[in-house]
């Protein structure tokens, strides 16, 4: 049974200010506008698909978003057990819809109520204010236009995947050439151009670099001359061996570490996605390589001044990540990502981190959301789980209630402010 | 402390009808008849052995079963902590024995009381009725005689291990030739014969194919011509390389997928046993290959109409299996197998599945038992654990009590009926 | 909320006698003497370092120990959440310091109070008595002088790492020659000398051999002639290939198994440390090889009379270890080591072991401590966690309260006495 202490902690923590250090919000349209867009989140789409809905046809992007909901009505009863569904209903309620279920009789009312709320003036700010989120990080591709961005609400973060994983593609080079108005004819030019883009983002207020790396990605020092020669082969349109490709990608990652070092930028790394494992629907999965954390040992030792903030997409290495955050002053553990964002997985991770790792080394939560509406559901689920975990720690006598609240404040605000040097 | 809610849920769930979709019951003798046979279950024998009992001598199969109990009396105090022991005492009580312990003074009474109960008319039906089990799947080798099988109580399931793992053995081919009254002179003949046997089992009411695969089993598409050539080498008594043998086995597994596809049969796959790791006593263990689930990606994508129902014998990949069941409409996660059948392992697995996976994709439980008496212990342990897990979900506010009961009903009955098209 | 049952169990268990079967206590100076030495434990030093303290400079070994505490004052607020910190405060309280925090205003008082307590006559015996520890194992290098050792309080354990991991070093051979007053000119001589040292330790009261092996250590039978030839290369100052070196180390481990067999010595094996992963500070980490337990199958089968007592430094294989302890009569699972010594990790391990493994196969706890003061913190944390785990088992109905206490007594005392043949 949930203790009174846990409920009290939940209530207190819900009043605390929050920084959301990783989202996919679009600064030009941070709200979903239609309940159908909220409902069309891939978390829910996957659940509908797995219980038999033909989501390709019935939730086709070309349909008006609210028809997704209508088409899904026969399948909704089959997904009501998941916490993703709980999240969706939590959003519906936050938008002013008061029914406990959705069916033939009320789905249109939901669409109307939701649209009306989301149409209201500065809704996204109201939505974020309702959950005390003061700053949300964006995920910015190198060429994103930042004009008109609400810099009070948003913090840019430079996404760098293409410079590592797609280093071999002409488009990567051409985009950089365009952005820097330069000609990239060598690996050195490439690095200079990236440095320039990073500087531009810092001048726009960017607080971090970010990248997502697949499970088996190897990280080790690659000789510069070696990398230069490999990149020259690309420029000469020659084919790379798998090994050359791997070494060039690793070299690029190290180049990003160097730039982070020079520019004093923290680096957010998300480890573990396998892209497109569901071939027809293109859905991503994950898998685990037991060397995933271990492979960063050299980089953590070599770049002591680069803050490396790791998220990991499995339950297998969460203990190892916690111990890395304890061992290396420049290693941080962040949040609960995607397929690990379930209360029963989050709670043991919180306990493990709070018992083993000094709390300034931890980022409690990020939403990873595409619309501010999902942020509402995700912070509520997290705070409830955090309260349960802290209550257990307090009840077992390892912390008092004041300390628990101090830790919560740090997980949601202070540590982000310190790590990313905000305000 | 267990909450009132958990106890209430346990009481309600205990009244629900149950399908047991995997057992090793013998349809001709589903009851153990003697308490010694119940006691001689390898789960208990292993525990006695590990605390020093010479089970080879003192529990030799040639002894009258009830002497196992007598011989084990000095060792019983040393195994009383395990939930397996709790299960055995639960069975004793269900058979009418009311003492809390077993010792020199009462073991003979136990033997008598138990034998008397088990001798009673249609005892196995009474036993199954007492726990509301309406249908129990069997594990049928291809040549099992099904005459006289109580088809109201039992559902055949065709066990296919030999067609994959022992494809190289003459006995495999000869058995098929005999069963189909045909001559197998090629891989094609082999597949035709298997198809024929599968059809016969369907006509007998079989609801699934089943197989147990070792931890490192690789699953990928093997070229037909390649497989034909390898099988020809077997027919010509030539030796296969390890690689040829592996490819042939994989080809056979794909052939079974094809047959399941054609015959609309679900495929139950049990992953992870290492056979005979204890050399002297022949006991099985398990180990984990991190590719165990990942290796099925191709098959899951290639056979979208074959329902693949996975059980997994470790705690490492239980999260990955849950996410596969969420990602692939044809992937199901089933129960809690053998070395994972402990409350402290079952409960987190239930939470993880119920928070992440739409519930129709889950089979809650199967007994894996050899005698109906063990089924009694195993369903009780599961229901108590399920109630604890559901209570936690309800108390945390992610589901209401009605939904929890609906989910329980689905885990025990509805999903089995739907997946295996029963009734 | 902690139940009354859990608190009652904690109180009862706290009165039970305890054997501590693995420590790094120095029999000549088992107490820390200064609070600064207690504070300078690498568990705490690492936490201070990770939140920004320059521990190389501010906690340099050449400084007076109590200045560590003074220098750390600004960093202490940042590590107060961990259970290691809770442990330190628990020690402070046991030494007579009553404040709840440490700061500029009271750190000197703490130093004084602590020093005074630790200076008192036979303090280490009082400290151990206060937590009912009657016997503590030592970790003795082969050449340790044991004169004057308090054999009532301490039990020698022969540490054997150098004979396996450093078998190639001259120092290893030379030390053995000196100890046995012999000349080692072959692998056979080496084994005879080791046997002799082991016998000497038994005559001094040693109750076990012990070794720590890295994560990827492979264990398989190596041909004697092969090993002899490899060792001859060493004697001839020839270079070994990696493979030769690996085979020689494995051969040496098997030689230790043989000696344990002959001398009836249990073998304590600690699996999983990666040494020196933090290059500048030299801190150890861990990683996991999925074959870590599996690799011992041959040895467990081959030496049925050698008691192999395993500890494992990760959360991934804890289930597999439990099942090995259930499967093999000569396999034991021990305690909760180092980076797994956190309540949230210990509790699931206890549940898993107590539900699956007959309790005589389990060693509940060891301190791994360097000073008796840390032993106080570690046993208290363990007993609280054990009480929580046992309460859950009792509340779920799988054991009664008497049995729970019997199990606790066995985990802390009886099993150690039986496995190591003490008293």
Tens-place pLDDT, residues B64-109: 999 999 999 999 999 999 999 999 999 999 999 999 999 999 999 9
Burial status of residue A263 (CB atoms within 10 A of its CB: 0-12, 13-18, 19 or more)? middle
Nearest to C342 among A294, A356, A359 (CB): A356
- pLDDT-derived band of residue A423, with 50, 70 and 90 as boundaries? confident
Q: Could you give the percent of chain A with pLDDT greater than 70?
A: 100
Q: Please report, for residues B59, C29, C30, C129, C376, the alpha-carbon distance to residue C126 in angstroms, rounded to integers and kept in the order given.
A: 50, 14, 12, 5, 11
Residue in C49, C72, C81, C345 to test binding to A, most A beta-carbons within 10 Å: C81
Give the per-residue pLDDT at C78.
98
Q: At what angle do helices C83-94 and C372-395 cross, to 10 degrees?
A: 120
Q: Which among A3, A21, A2 has a CA at the least distance from the CA of A411?
A: A21
Q: What is the pLDDT of residue C167?
A: 97
Q: What is the pLDDT of residues A319-360, one digit of tens each?
A: 999 999 999 999 999 999 999 999 999 999 999 999 999 999
Specify the pLDDT at position B416. Answer: 98
pLDDT tens string B142-170: 999 999 999 999 999 999 999 999 999 99
Sign of CA dihedral C25, C27, C28, C34: positive
Q: What pLDDT is stored for residue A401 in this prediction?
A: 98
pLDDT value, residue B127: 98
Structure tokens at B97: 């024995």
Of A312, A322, A324, A228, residue with least CA distance to A273: A312
Say how far apart CA B365 and CA B94 lie, in whole Å.
20
Min Cα distance C2 → chain A (Å) is: 6
Cβ contacts of C91 within 8 Å, gap of 6 or more: C38, C373, C374, C376, C377
**H-helix or E-strand containing B222?**
none
Alpha-carbon span A228 to A248, nearest angstrom: 8
User: In the block, which residue shows the tokens 């008061």?
Assistant: A98
The answer to whether A324 faces chain C, any CB pair under 8 Å, is: yes
How confident is residue B423, by pLDDT bands cut at 50, 70 and 90?
A: confident
* Residue B57 burial (CB count, 10 A): 9
Distances in Å between the alpha carbon of A114 and those of A99, A104, A296, B186? Answer: 13, 17, 45, 65
Decide the pairing of beta strands A283-286 and B331-334.
Answer: unpaired
Nearest to C360 among B51, B274, B286 (CB): B51
Name which of C81, C83, C340 is nearest A407 (Cβ-Cβ).
C81
Distance of CA C137 to the CA centre of its chain: 9
What is the C-alpha to C-alpha distance for residues B290 and B288, in angstroms, rounded to an integer? Answer: 6
Chain B residues in contact with A279 (beta carbon < 8 A): 301
Structural contact between residues B297 and B364, judged by C-beta atoms closer than 8 angstroms: no
Token output for B194: 């298997």
Residues of C in contact with B52 (CB under 8 A): 329
* ipTM surpassing 0.90: yes
CA-CA distance, A152 to A388, in Å (whole number)?
32
pLDDT at A29: 96
Pairing, β C283-286 against β C273-278: antiparallel
What's the pLDDT at B219?
95
Q: Where are the beta strands (DSSP E) in A60-147?
A: 133-137
Phi and psi torsions of C149, nearest 5°: -70, 135
- Residue closest to B260 by CA, chosen among B203, B306, B325: B306
* pLDDT of C1: 77
Contacts of B44 in chain C (CB under 8 A): none
- Residues in contact with A203: Cβ distance below 8 Å, sequence separation at least 6, in sequence order: none
* Among A271, A260, A264, A267, CA closest to A294: A271
Query: Do the Cβ atoms of C94 and C376 come closer than 8 Å?
Result: yes
Which candidate, A336, A330, A331, A329, places its Cα nearest to that of A321? A331
User: What part of C 345-364 touches B (C-beta under 8 Å)?
Assistant: 348, 351-352, 354-361
Tell how far CA B212 is from the center of its chain: 9
Instruction: Give contacts of A76 with chain B, Cβ < 8 Å.
Output: none
Q: What is the pLDDT of residue A267?
A: 98
Which residue among A293, A329, A397 sits closest to C50, beta carbon to beta carbon? Answer: A329
Which of the residues C326, C345, C402 would you substitute to probe the B interface, choosing the one with the greatest number of B C-beta atoms within 10 Å?
C326
pLDDT for A1:
77
Q: In the numeric block, which tokens belong to residue A13? A: 């923590």
| Chain A residues 204-263 within an 8 A CB cutoff of chain B | none
Quote the pLDDT of residue C423: 77
- Measure the CA–CA gap between C408 and C402, rounded to whole angstroms: 10
Given an 8 Å threshold on Cβ–Cβ distance, is C358 in contact with B290? no
Mode of pairing for the β-strands spanning A283-286 and A273-278: antiparallel
Whether B305 contacts chain A with CB within 8 A:
no
Residue numbers in C near A331 (CB within 8 A)? 50
Tokens for C20, please give them. 């501590």
Number of neighbours of residue A105 by Cβ within 10 angstroms = 9
* Contact predicate B357/A82, CB 8 Å: yes
Strand pairing class (B362-363; C18-20): unpaired
Q: In the prediction, which pLDDT does B1 show?
A: 77
Tell me the average pLDDT across A65-73.
96
Q: What is the CA radius of gyration of chain B?
A: 22
Beta bridge partners of A350: none
Asked if C391 and C1 count as a contact pair (C-beta separation under 8 A), the reply is no
For the question of whether the overall pTM of this predicted structure is more than 0.95, the answer is: yes
Extended beta strands in C265-350, E state: 267-271, 273-278, 283-286, 308-312, 331-334
* B314 SS3 class: coil
CA of B352, closest CA in chain A: separation in Å? 6
* Mean pLDDT, range B22-43, rounded to an integer: 97
Return the number of other C-beta atoms located less than 10 Å from residue C185's C-beta.
Answer: 12
Tell me, what's the pLDDT at B313? 98
Which is nearest to A112 in space by CA: A94, A95, A88? A95
Q: How far is CA B258 from CA A52, B244, B296, in A?
A: 21, 21, 15
pLDDT of residue A211: 98
For residues B41 and B48, is the Cβ–Cβ distance under 8 A?
Answer: no
Q: What is the overall mean pLDDT for chain A?
A: 97
**Closest by Cβ to A403, choosing from C80, C84, C285:** C80
Query: How is residue C195 written in tokens?
Result: 């046997």
Q: Which residues of chain C have pLDDT under 70?
A: none
The per-residue pLDDT for range A203-259, each reduced to its tens digit, is: 999 999 999 999 999 999 999 999 999 999 999 999 999 999 999 999 999 999 999
Beta-carbon contacts below 8 Å between A and C: 102
């Amino acid at each position: 049974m949930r203790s009174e202490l846990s409920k009290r902690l939940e209530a207190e923590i819900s009043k605390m200010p929050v920084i959301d250090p990783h989202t996919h919000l679009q600064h030009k349209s941070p709200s979903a506008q239609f309940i159908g867009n909220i409902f069309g989140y891939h978390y829910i789409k996957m659940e509908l698909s797995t219980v038999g809905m033909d989501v390709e046809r019935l939730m086709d992007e070309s349909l008006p978003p609210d028809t997704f909901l209508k088409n899904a009505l026969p399948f909704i009863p089959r997904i009501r057990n998941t916490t993703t569904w709980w999240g969706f209903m939590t959003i519906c309620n936050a938008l002013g819809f008061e029914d406990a279920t959705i069916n033939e009789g009320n789905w249109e009312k939901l669409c109307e109520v939701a649209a009306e709320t989301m149409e209201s003036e500065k809704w996204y700010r109201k939505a974020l204010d309702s959950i005390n989120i003061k700053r949300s990080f964006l995920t910015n591709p190198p060429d994103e236009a930042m004009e008109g961005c609400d810099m009070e609400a948003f913090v840019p973060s430079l996404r760098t995947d293409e410079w590592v994983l797609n280093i071999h593609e002409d488009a990567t080079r051409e985009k950089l050439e365009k952005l820097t108005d330069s000609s990239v004819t060598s690996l050195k030019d490439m690095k200079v151009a990236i440095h320039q883009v990073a500087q531009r983002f810092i001048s726009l207020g960017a607080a971090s670099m970010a990248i997502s790396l697949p499970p088996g990605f190897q990280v080790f020092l690659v000789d510069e001359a070696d990398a230069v020669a490999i990149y020259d082969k690309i420029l000469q349109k020659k084919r790379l061996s798998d090994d050359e490709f791997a070494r060039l990608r690793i070299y690029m990652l190290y180049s990003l570490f160097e730039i982070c070092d020079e520019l004093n930028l923290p680096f957010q790394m998300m480890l573990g996605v396998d892209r497109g494992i569901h071939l027809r629907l293109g859905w991503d999965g994950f898998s685990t390589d037991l060397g995933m954390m271990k492979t960063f040992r050299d980089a953590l030792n070599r770049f002591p001044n680069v803050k490396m903030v790791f998220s990991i997409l499995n339950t297998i290495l969460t203990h190892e990540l916690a111990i890395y955050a304890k061992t290396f002053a420049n290693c941080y553990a962040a949040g609960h990502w995607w397929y690990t964002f379930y209360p029963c997985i989050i709670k043991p991770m919180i306990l493990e981190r709070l018992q083993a790792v000094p709390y300034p080394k931890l980022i409690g939560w990020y939403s990873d959301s595409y619309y501010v509406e999902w942020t509402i559901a995700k912070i509520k689920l997290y705070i409830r789980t955090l309260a349960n975990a802290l209550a257990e720690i307090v009840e077992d006598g390892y912390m008092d209630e004041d300390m628990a609240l101090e830790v919560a404040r740090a997980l949601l605000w202070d540590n982000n402010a310190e790590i990313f040097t905000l305000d």
